[in-house]
Structure 1
Amino acid sequence: MTSVSLEEAASDFTDLARRAEAGETIVLTREGRPVADLVPHRKPSGIDLEAGEAYLRAAGIVRRPGFIAPNFDDPLPEDFLLRPLPDA
């Protein structure tokens, strides 16, 4: 990991971008303190929520966003925190 001052980065940004593109992480500093990281771009990963919603619509499944069960606010039994946990 390389540290570069903001002043140096401003004058040599193209080279720094090439180095980041090659996989290097560059820490940009101001007065010796890190302020930003220049890192290689990554494609977003994880769950594609839009595709999931499209699948549900195609399957005829209707979701109700914001649904809260009617008994959500009901008080818990008095001994709720005193009961032992079930054996796993």
Structure 2
Amino acid sequence: MDSIDQANANLSQLLSRVEQGEEIVISDQGVPVTKLVPVGTASRRRSSLGVDQGKFVVPEDFNDPLPDDILSAFEE
């Protein structure tokens, strides 16, 4: 839940999230006062699948076991 001040400062970001289908509740002092919802159907949403294609390459060793020093950090 976003406050009115947060919503005002980040309106363009909130609208982008709503365009992707998210519903956002805006509150005033913790009390919900409004909800931003997408207009239209989900089929009109811009697809975000594939927008980062080619920007990241999965390394060949991605599924290899982690080194012992990293594994031990999870066990502490």
TM range (shorter): 0.5 to 0.7
**Residue of 8, 14, 36 corresponding to 1:16:** 14
- In 2, Cα distance between the equivalents of 1:33 and 1:42? 27
RMSD value, Cα: 1.0
Whole-Å separation in 1 of the counterparts to 2:5 and 2:24? 14
Larger relative contact order, structure 1 or 2 (CA cutoff 8 Å, min sep 6):
2
Q: Which has the higher Rg, Structure 1 or Structure 2?
A: 1
Q: Name 2:50's counterpart in structure 1.
A: none
Where structure 1 has 5 or more consecutive residues not aligned to the other structure, the ranges are 44-88
Question: 3-state DSSP class of the match of 2:21?
Answer: coil
Letter in 1 for 2:18: A
Structure-2-length-normalised TM-score? 0.52
Structure 2 unpaired stretches of 5+: 42-76
What letter corresponds to residue 7 of structure 1 in structure 2?
D
Shift of 1:42: 1.6
User: Which stretches of structure 1, 4 residues or more, deviate above 2 A after TM superposition?
Assistant: none
Provide the TM-score with structure 1 as the length reference: 0.45
Give 1 or 2: higher helix fraction. Answer: 2
Give the aligned partner of residue 3 of structure 2.
5
